[in-house]
Amino acid sequence: MARLRLSSLTPYALPAAVIAVWQAGSALGVISDRVLPAPTDVVAAGWRLALSGELLANAKSSTARALAGLVIGGGIGFGLGLLNGLSRAADRVTDTTVQMIRNVPHLALIPLVILWFGIGEEAKLFLVALGVFFPVYVNTVHGVRGVDGQLVEMGRIYGMSSWTLFRKVILPGALPSIFVGLRYALGIMWLTLIVAETISASSGLGYMAMQAREFMLVDVVVLSILIYALLGKLADVLARALERRSLAWHPAFQNH
Amino acid sequence: MTRPLRQVLAEAQSVPLEIGWLPETKATAPALPPEEPPAVVPRGSGVALDLKGVGKSFGDKRVLGGVDLQVRPGDFLVVVGKSGCGKSTLLRLLVGLDRPTEGEIAIGPGRDGGKANARIVFQEPRLLPWASVLDNVAVGLPASLSSEAAWKAAETVLADVHLQGRADDWPSVLSGGQRQRVALARALVSHPDLLVLDEPLGALDALTRITMQSLIERVWHAQGFTAVLVTHDVAEAVALGDRVVVIDEGRIVLDLAIDLPRPRERGSAALAALEGKLLDAIFGVAEVVY
Ligand SMILES: Nc1ncnc2c1ncn2[C@@H]1O[C@H](COP(=O)(O)OP(=O)(O)OP(=O)(O)O)[C@@H](O)[C@H]1O
Ligand SMILES: [Mg+2]
């Protein structure tokens, strides 16, 4: 039992050590307060903002944007990915265009997006949706194409309707690849959101960090960065749990 | 190309199924009388096959030509031949996966005068890795069946292939022989009139193969479907077939009736002599270098 619990803590040993060194460095005066406030100061700032309600409000508004952008961009990417994976004709019509747009870094569109949407919510949703679209799209197409043709033939011989074939053979076969796309998209989702909020927003974690910078509150800036790391990790943990659940049949997810 | 087969299957599947149709199989197979009808009335009726001048070309490459073959309902036909001689092509024509470019194939009629229900088992099990063993077997049942009835039917047939208790497992944890038994169960669960097997045991080890051969013989005997088995193994051919045809370069070069009682004694002199005949036909006597 003790061994098991110890080994489950292993991944957190390194972050804990970093924080310990950081705290020690601050206490000894090796690390200047102006550069990096002590972890205890960051925690105190977090406590202060949590009590005032600011922290929760900003985290909520960032999370809502992130999820909305993910649903919109991921949904479109998934739909178009299925379509192009299944239909050669649709692929010929749209894929080249999609690949061309994909080669433009989506953050390069920020000036244009601000011109279009101002600094409203639409601008941030648009950027997040665009960012998550590509990984979901590319991996969905790849997954659908990679489904074992022998299984598809088997399904046909056994009289499956097109819908049943899709539900029972093609979608489950493509799922591992789709999850790769989803996890990649989650990373892009946070990245895009942070950049977008830093540039133009009146709420959210990126906004909180920029405000803090203006008032020279280094502890709040560091706090924002740490919260991003935590939210990113949380999203990944959730995606992994979902993956584990839906891919229980996969040998890679058995006996763990 | 696959359309006709789907129609065949769709129609065959609209026939109401009887559940729990297979009699209990005993651990030791009883001696089977060669000509008499089986003691248990088979609920799946075998269908007759009638091939007249059947041929198949891919482009200008003629893979199969002038195949004449009549198979009686409930017969066990074995097809042997060198790799690439056209065996799989013949099977695909039989189950309607492809259409012949020459000649005609008549199958049936199936139960109640309807279309025949044909099922195929491939060399690979082709199981859905994301579906449990039970759900994989249920793939062989019509979608219209209620899930309870489907599970019951699937469980019954799993017991027939000696996989009771593995219903909830993933295919990835089964051995090769067990996977192939699941594939067999999937083909049997819908109660076929014609079962076509394309080297189903080719990937298995010799001992598992022998066990599987007697399993196939037993379900065939109990159900009475017409069986067509392709194999590379002449010992398997003479152990199972009522009749063995040898194909060479797209033609039937030997049609050998085997009138030995079942189950046949492996390694007996009679079987060895027949194996020799088959090998001669496959390789051509003149080619054999002593
Ligand atoms: N779709 C196709 N298009 C073109 N040629 C084909 C096609 N299918 C099969 N052939 C050719 O037909 C010939 C017979 O193939 P088939 O698969 O029937 O052989 P087989 O007897 O089953 O061989 P094996 O024992 O190796 O499985 C081969 O030369 C093959 O290349
Ligand atoms: Mg073959």
Cis peptide before B263 (omega within 30 of 0): yes
Write the CB contacts of A217 (distance below 8 Å, at least 6 apart in sequence): A45
Quick one: DSSP state of residue B287? Answer: G
pLDDT at A256 over 80: no
pLDDT of residue B187: 94
- The pairing of strands B251-257 and B243-248 is antiparallel
Q: Give the closest-approach CA distance of A180 to chain B in angstroms.
A: 17
pLDDT score recorded for residue A31: 87
What length does chain B have?
290
- Closest to B41 (Cα-Cα) out of B23, B18, B24: B23
Q: What is the pLDDT of residue B94?
A: 92
Task: List the beta bridge partners of residue B194.
Answer: B118, B226
Q: What is the pLDDT of residue B148?
A: 87
Distance from CA of B93 to the nearest CA of A (A): 13
Contact list in A for residue B194 (CB cut-off 8 A) is none
The token duo for B54 is: 């059947």
Tens digits of residue pLDDT in B108-137? 777 766 778 899 999 899 999 999 999 999
Tens digits of residue pLDDT in B43-57:
557 899 999 999 999
Indicate whether residue B117 lines ligand 1 (CB < 6 A). Answer: no
Q: Per residue in A52-62, pLDDT tens?
A: 999 999 999 99
Closest-CA residue to A248 (of B184, B132, B150): B132
Examine residue B200 and say whether the peptide bond preceding it is cis (omega within 30 degrees of 0).
no
Q: What pLDDT is attached to residue A2?
A: 52
A76-119 tens-digit pLDDT: 999 999 999 999 999 999 999 999 988 899 888 888 988 998 87
User: What count of other Cβ atoms lies within 10 Å of the Cβ of residue B213?
Assistant: 22
* Lowest pLDDT segment from A29-33, B182-186, B252-256: A29-33
Q: At B246, is the pLDDT very low, low, confident or very high (cuts 50, 70, 90)? A: very high
Is there a contact between B130 and A173 if contact means CB atoms under 8 Å apart?
Answer: yes
Per-residue pLDDT tens digits for A36-55: 899 999 999 999 999 999 99
More confident residue, B17 or A239: A239
Phi, psi of B147 (to 5 degrees): -65, -30
Residue that wins the pLDDT comparison between B17 and A240: A240
Q: What are phi and psi of B285, to 5 degrees?
A: -55, -40
Q: Report how far residue A81's alpha carbon sits from residue A180's, in angstroms, rounded to the nearest whole number.
A: 14
Give residue A144's pLDDT.
97
- Residue to substitute from B128, B134, B182, B196, interface A, most A β-carbons within 10 A: B128
pLDDT at A80: 96
Determine contact: A156 vs chain B, CB below 8 A.
yes
Contacts of A22 (CB under 8 A, 6+ apart): A31, A36, A38, A39
Per residue in A164-183, pLDDT (tens digit) is 999 999 999 999 999 999 99
At residue B42, does pLDDT exceed 60? Answer: no
Residue B86 Cβ contacting ligand 1 at under 6 Å: yes
Cα-Cα-Cα-Cα torsion B5, B10, B11, B16, nearest 10 degrees, comes to 140
- Sequence-ordered list of residues with C-beta below 8 angstroms from that of A225, at least 6 positions apart, any chain: A209
- Domains, chain A, with CATH or none: 39-244 (1.10.3720.10)
Whether the CB of B56 sits within 6 Å of ligand 1: no
Phi, psi (degrees; rounded to nearest 5) at B254: -155, 140
Burial of B129 (0-12, 13-18, 19+ CB in 10 A): middle
pTM: 0.79
pLDDT in tens, A63-78: 999 999 999 999 999 9
The answer to whether the CB of B140 is under 6 A from ligand 1 is no
Site from B8, B17, B139 to mutate, A interface, most A CB atoms within 10 angstroms: B139
Q: Is pLDDT of B17 > 50?
A: no
- With a cut of 70, say whether residue B216 has pLDDT above it: yes
Q: Find tokens 């061994």 and name the residue.
A: A3
Tell me what the pLDDT averaged over chain A comes to: 90
Across A120-147, average pLDDT: 94
User: Under an 8 A CB cutoff, do B139 and A254 touch?
Assistant: no
Ligand 1 site, residue B60, Cβ cutoff 6 A: no
- Does the CB of B48 have a partner CB in chain A at under 8 Å? no
> A197 pLDDT exceeds 70?
yes
Q: Say if residue A24's pLDDT is above 70.
A: yes
What separation in Å is there between the alpha carbon of A142 and the centre of ligand 2? 29
Choose among B13, B120, B172: nearest Cβ to A159: B13
**Ligand 1 atom 25: the closest Cα is on which residue?**
B83
For residue B5, the chain A residue with the least C-alpha distance is: A157
What is the phi-psi region of residue B243: left when phi exceeds 0, alpha when psi lies from -120 to 50, beta otherwise?
beta
pLDDT of B7 above 50: no
A159 interfaces chain B, CB cutoff of 8 Å: yes
Q: Across residues B243-254, what is the average pLDDT?
A: 93
Say whether pLDDT at B202 is over 70. Answer: yes
CA B228 to chain centre: 5
* Whole-number pLDDT of residue B93: 93
Q: Position B167: which residue type?
A: A
Q: What pLDDT, on a 0 to 100 scale, did the predictor assign at position B2? A: 40
The reply to whether ligand 1 has any atom less than 6 angstroms from the CB of B63 is yes
Q: Is the CB of B91 inside a 6 Å radius of any atom of ligand 1? A: no
Q: Which residue has the tokens 């803590």?
A: A9
Which of B173, B200, B172, B170 lies closest to B188, judged by CA? B200
ipTM: 0.79
Chain B residues with CB inside 8 Å of A254's CB?
A: 170, 172-173
Residue B32 has pLDDT above 50, yes or no: no
Cβ of B126 under 8 Å from any chain A Cβ?
yes
